[in-house]
Amino acid sequence: MSHRLPDLGRLIDRSKRIGFRFNGAPLAGHPGDTLASALLANDRMMVGRSFKYHRPRGVVASGAEEPNALVNMGEGPGFEPNQRATTTELFDGLTARSQNHWPSLEFDVGAVNTYLSRFLPAGFYYKMFMYPRAFWKHVYEPFIRQSAGLGQAPKDRDRDTYEHFYAFTDVLVIGGGVAGLQAAHSAAQSGARVLVLEQTAHWGGRAPVDGGSFGGAPAEEAVEQLLEELRQMDNVTLRSRTMGAGVYDHGYVLGYERLTDHLPLAKGPRHRLWRIRAAQIVTATGAIERPLSFAGNDVPGVMLASAMRDYAVNYGVAAGKRIVVATNNDDAYRTAICLKEAGVEVARILDARSRGGGALMEEARALGIRIDCGRAIGKVSGGKRVAKVMICAQDGAGGALEEVACDAVAMSGGWSPVVHLWSHCGGKLLWDDQQALFRPDPDRPPTGADGAGFVRAAGAANGHAGLDAILSDATAAGRAAAKAAGFKPKRTAAPRGESTEEQPLEPVWLMPREAEPHLRAKSWLDFQNDVKVSDVQLAAREGFESVEHTKRYTTLGMATDQGKLSNINGLAILSDALGQPIPATGTTTFRPPYTPISMGAIAGEARGDVFQPLRKTPMHEWHEQQGADWEPVGHWRRPYAFPRAGERVHDAVEREVKNTRQAVGLLDASTLGKILVKGPHAGRFLDMLYTNMMSTLKPGRCRYGLMCSENGFLIDDGVVARIDEDTFLCHTTTGGADRIHAMMEEWLQTEWWDWKVYVANLTEQFAQVAVVGPKARELLNSLGGMDLSAEALPFMAWADGQIGGFDCRVYRISFSGELSFEIAVRAGQGLAFWEALMQAGETFGVMPYGTEALHIMRAEKGFIMIGDETDGTVIPQDLGLDWAISKKKDDYLGKRAQERPHMTDPNRWKLVGLETLDGSVLPDGAYAVAPGRNANGQRNTQGRVTSTYHSPTLGKGIAMGLVLNGPDRMGEVLEFLGTDDKTFKARIVDPVFYDKEGEKQNV
Amino acid sequence: MLILTCPYCGVRADETELSPGGEAHLTRHGPGSSDDDFHGYLFTRENPRGVHFERWRHAYGCGKWFHAARDTMTLEVFGTYPAQTTEPPRDICDAITARHPGWNWRDFS
Amino acid sequence: MSDPVSALNGAEFHGLIDVADAGLTGMITLRGNLGAAKAKKAVKAVTGTAVPAVGEVLGSGETATAWMSPDELLLIVPYAEVAQRVAKAETALAGEHAMVVDVSDARAVLTVTGSDAREVMAKLCPVDLSPAAFGKGDFRRTRMAQIPAALWMTESDQFTVICFRSVADYAFALLKVAAQPGSAVGAF
């Protein structure tokens, strides 16, 4: 059983106990424990079930590479699935539950899958879910949904907050082990700004566990000294609990800081995403130990040798009472020595190398540990816990030589440098045959804006072993990074490191070498996704040669751990099956983030109120107080209607239309774009932008205009007012304001840069109110001020003046067909002006109206709306707007495109009005069917509805649509398809339904 | 995420402060142009693996359009320059030649 | 008629740092050839400063001139005097191709004050705001979370931030989130 040792535990505080719950059971640990170490101290070796076969699984690793110990953390609004117990710092009151089992961790129905494993081979998903097709909806999909994912999706809203932080540094060091700290120290001496990220809460990496010494002191002490020096340097920033998550273009790096995961009661954000720009990066990310592939290597109690050592040294926890060590290298002997010295029985060391190791082997032997060379584990037996190992010859097929009882197995297949961050942005790897590992190829680094490399690997991440080599490599990397960042590095020597000399490893990709099929089928490569040696071999036999294809076919390395333990072993097995050397197979692509980061951290502050900017007009608050029903228009919210207490929205809309047509209505038109265009060439410029001729417009007058893209399609419309000889004010649609302003700047800067024109977007400088209806003039006159008579201010004119004491500009323009004044006042007075109009309007029956009433009234008049009648494929000619296209101009944006054959095709669909025979409302977007069917067997079409409303004014449904040869087919009845097989018959009519002569607006 | 230096205000702008505008140095073809020329102007774009000239706008900054010459493979930026020109400046072409002797992008080299 | 109100109407927040509505601020956009003698004269007449260099703001408090772009300046003046100063600029620029326009109401101005002001702004803007890189006299237009903003330091521990009027509430709410208690970064 796993248990707390009487000694060791450098990171825990044994004087204090803290309580936590696992699967409901109250347990205790010490401050400084991880959830994994605390579970092991409580003999909770089994912590979860595997994804596919629901096999019992235990803690394998001690850090970010852990594939098995994933738990559902927390409750309710603090709940989060798939949290690694090995990187979760224990706190008082922590609650966690194991995943992927039902009804319980100990007894799981899904475990039946393990007996079905020969029916669930590699590519099972692709083979199984193909046929019969009818099974998809009721069999396969529910099954996949049921079994997808390990943890549960949170049900409550996340209670925590998150944030971003933009940081800039000359040198960024990722990894706070000995190599990282030394690289930072060497870089910082040049005066460069240095930022160091360490993913765990502790500095020094593996050195304090692995031993050795440098700078004349034992590693743990030497790390403290180095840290102290760094803390004294003003140009160095050290951040622990901050993982370098990804390296991107031009030195952009994401750092993931976990602030309060271990302090659940603390105020402030839970995670902070550092968005770093670094001139140079040093990746000192260390190395990860590889598992060995032997049968039963997934039984709880089988652990990486280094992890077993970490639990002992850091947390004073032993993984078992009687341990077997299997290795192909010297490093695993450190685990045996450490445990033996701590009083744990080490039953055997199985060294796959025929001659064994060096000095560390001698040290272990001297402690009385039995060492068998050339031996391997044939099989581990035990269900929920290791019970015994069967020993065999490494050079064989697995014939049992001996059985040894034990309750834990430490395995070591050598070390793989963590090359992820080097590789994220394109750094290439080379295969080091001697050490059997991929390491960064210094000649092919990721390149930055200057074309030179901006990432350097250092220490174990660069393929080095032994403290001395690591320190000198890190010193050189730090120095080189500072130099590349433009600083003059200091020539100080690297501290001397001392550690026990090690003999080279012998690669072991399968244990034993010629393991029989039944053993290979129980030799796990990917613990989280349940991929075995036999699966990869099957994939190779089925023709999967590319490592990327094999990965997806077998799901090797596709789990949340992204194959940190499995990748190298998997591709070695694949290479062997394909009969090619490992570098010929290569690795899969390393993609960020290094380990999963929270969605909250990615969103940062962007949630709740500030998820997205909400644009508000000066009258927004008034609308809100009136209980406006909102419609989003771009980032604006505009009142759709103003329903009164107890009134349905639809009824409010009808009331608003009728009242505006019969009395007077107010519309908040502040969102419409208002762009000032000024200069001697302003007229010429607008002639290019609009299809109409704007240069002939007289000062004091307004003109409706259309804008097209160079593709010829209609993109915006609005009224242009000429202010003076050199100055125009262009109104755009609400959604078009920023876009059209940007388009104007673009043409002026990039095509007609010699034209003398300046533009300014004044949209938000003014609040604009449309006062609309037969009583509009009376209302305004009652406030007193400028002359608004038809003589002084005729239709399509504008004037400056005062109304009710407000400085304003009044435009006589109408989008409703009624007598209408659009009045602009400075935004700071918008609300006051609106309130003054509402107050004065009481006598005249004034009511505010929203965008739906606006839309209905314009449709009654046959006015088009950008985004309804247009969709990016419609040209003005389709809409019968030829009158607004100047024939006199040689050029305007879109003119050439409108001459293309497809644009002049007489069979383009054109705008008409539509009226159902029974007065009902046509469905929006409905298509008119034509005789026959197309190649796909669908009904042919000859038109579609673009706008459709119930007209309160006319008491029936009205619509506009685009119809084949529509204007020539007045009176014809078309059939439109609704949903649920409904059809509608509608007659083609003139799109102007109301006041065809325009008498009402021109009074 | 790229960093490009705005040639107008000197800001080393983060990509999130910029908006992209596609290929640079297009010649506008208006009324009177042939169908082929117009089609090329509207639709035909370079998509090189290597040297490329692009339009960018310093949208969250000074609002100006500029051009960037860069390598789409190595992410090397050879230079940025104001948009009021029909061809890239000599020094930028020279910088590209130094890295890619014999390069050609449309008719520039 | 009634007195104009600023978009934030005097709002304040006190957290890690203080966020406050700077109130009505006169702002004039001047576009033109900034090297021309008449432009220099116009700036002198309106704010009393020289034409600022690229990325610079001159003047202080209620009256300042900021470099917006190669052909655009922002002239900051007392709100009540905008019309009169626009007229001054137009007089000075007579005959020159230029644009002078009142944008006071189109924008909101906020102050962000406190020893952690730099860090709070650095949570929202992709700009190096460390003391070595940004200080008084620097003027930066950038992105603040999802909106455009301009910022400069009016005191050693104070930023003035300008954004569009319609998103003033968003900007204020953003700064409140960024300045929540317990969120000091400790990086600068």
Q: What is the ipTM of this complex?
A: 0.98
B9 and A CB contact within 8 Å = no
- Kindly report, residue by residue over C39-63, the tens digit of the pLDDT: 999 999 999 999 999 999 999 878 9
Q: Which residues of B touch C140 (CB under 8 A)?
A: 11
pLDDT-derived band at B46, boundaries 50, 70, 90: very high
Domains parsed from chain A with CATH numbers: 1-155 (3.10.20.440), 162-287+417-491 (3.50.50.60), 291-413 (3.50.50.60), 523-585 (1.10.10.1100), 620-671+765-857 (3.30.1360.120), 673-764 (3.30.70.1400), 861-885+904-989 (2.40.30.110)
- Contact at 8 Å (CB) between A544 and A582? no
- Residue A264: the pLDDT is 87
A253 pairs with which residues across the strands? A247, A276
Residue A649, pLDDT above cutoff 60: yes
- Residue A205: the pLDDT is 97
Residue A783, pLDDT above cutoff 70: yes
Preferred mutation among B5, B17, B19, B58 to probe C, highest tally of C CBs within 10 A: B17
Instruction: Find the domain containing B59 and state its range.
Output: 1-25+50-109
Q: Which residues of A touch B32 (CB under 8 A)?
A: 896
Q: CB–CB of A827 and C180 under 8 A?
A: no
* Vertex A26: Cα angle to A25 and A30 (nearest 5): 130
Distance CA A260, CA A242 (A): 12
Distance CA A819, CA A842 (A): 18
B42 inside domain: no
- Residue A279: the pLDDT is 98
- Residue B9: closest CA among chain C residues belongs to which residue? C54
- Kindly report, residue by residue over A38-57, the tens digit of the pLDDT: 999 999 999 988 888 888 99
- Kindly report, residue by residue over A133-159, the tens digit of the pLDDT: 777 777 777 776 666 667 888 899 999
- Residue C102: the pLDDT is 98
Q: Which residues of C touch B14 (CB under 8 A)?
A: 126, 143
Domain boundaries of chain C, sorted by first residue: 12-178
pLDDT-derived band at A854, boundaries 50, 70, 90: very high
Distance CA A380, CA A511 (A): 12
How many angstroms from the chain centroid is the CA of residue A342?
A: 46
- Contact at 8 Å (CB) between C169 and A614? yes
State the CATH class of domain C12-178.
Answer: alpha beta
Of the candidates C68, C141, C143, the beta carbon closest to that of B16 is on: C143
Q: CB–CB of C142 and B8 under 8 A?
A: no
Of the candidates A269, A679, A832, the beta carbon closest to that of C183 is on: A269
- Kindly report, residue by residue over A65-97, the tens digit of the pLDDT: 999 999 999 999 999 999 999 999 999 999 999
- Residue A147: the pLDDT is 66
* Arithmetic mean of pLDDT, A519-524: 95
pLDDT-derived band at B107, boundaries 50, 70, 90: confident
Q: Which residues of A touch B64 (CB under 8 A)?
A: 749
B40 inside domain: no
* Arithmetic mean of pLDDT, A644-656: 97
Of the candidates A618, A756, A765, the beta carbon closest to that of C103 is on: A765
pLDDT-derived band at A106, boundaries 50, 70, 90: confident
* Arithmetic mean of pLDDT, A323-344: 98
More confident residue, A102 or A371: A371
Q: What percent of chain A has pLDDT over 70?
A: 99
* Vertex A459: Cα angle to A458 and A462 (nearest 5): 65
For residue B44, give how far its alpha carbon lies from the nearest alpha carbon of chain C (Å): 33
* Arithmetic mean of pLDDT, A744-751: 98
B33 inside domain: no
Q: Which residues of C touch B6 (CB under 8 A)?
A: none
Preferred mutation among C31, C67, C72, C141 to probe B, highest tally of B CBs within 10 A: C141
- Kindly report, residue by residue over A923-976, the tens digit of the pLDDT: 999 999 999 999 999 999 999 999 999 999 999 999 999 999 999 999 999 999
* Arithmetic mean of pLDDT, A818-841: 98
* Arithmetic mean of pLDDT, A437-446: 97
Q: CB–CB of A764 and C164 under 8 A?
A: yes
Q: What tokens were used for B31? A: 């009324």
For residue B65, give how far its alpha carbon lies from the nearest alpha carbon of chain A (Å): 7
- Residue A959: the pLDDT is 98
3-state secondary structure chain C: CCCCCCCCCCCEEECCCEEEECCCCEEEEEECCCCCHHHHHHHHHHHCCCCCCCCEEEEECCEEEEEEECCEEEEEECHHHHHHHHHHHHHHCCCCCCEEEECHHHEEEEEEECCCHHHHHHCCCCCCCCCCCCCCCEEEEEEECCEEEEEEEEECCEEEEEEEHHHHHHHHHHHHHHCCCCCCCCCC
Q: Which residues of A touch C174 (CB under 8 A)?
A: 605, 610
Judged by phi (left if over 0) then psi (alpha if -120 to 50, else beta), residue C68 lies in alpha
Nearest Cα to A660, choosing from A844, A913, A798? A844
Q: Which one-letter DSSP state was computed for residue A446?
A: -
- Residue A146: the pLDDT is 66
- Kindly report, residue by residue over A884-919, the tens digit of the pLDDT: 999 999 999 999 999 999 999 999 999 999 999 999
- Kindly report, residue by residue over A666-692, the tens digit of the pLDDT: 999 999 999 999 999 999 999 999 999
In angstroms, the first-to-last Cα distance of chain A is 96
Average pLDDT, chain A: 95
Q: CB–CB of A896 and B30 under 8 A?
A: yes
pLDDT-derived band at C1, boundaries 50, 70, 90: low
pLDDT-derived band at A99, boundaries 50, 70, 90: confident
B38 inside domain: no
* CATH code at position B79: 3.30.2270.10
B30 inside domain: no
Q: CB–CB of A900 and B38 under 8 A?
A: yes
Helix crossing, A178-188 with A219-232: angle to 10°? 30
- Kindly report, residue by residue over A686-724, the tens digit of the pLDDT: 999 999 999 999 999 999 999 999 999 999 999 999 999
SS3 A732: strand
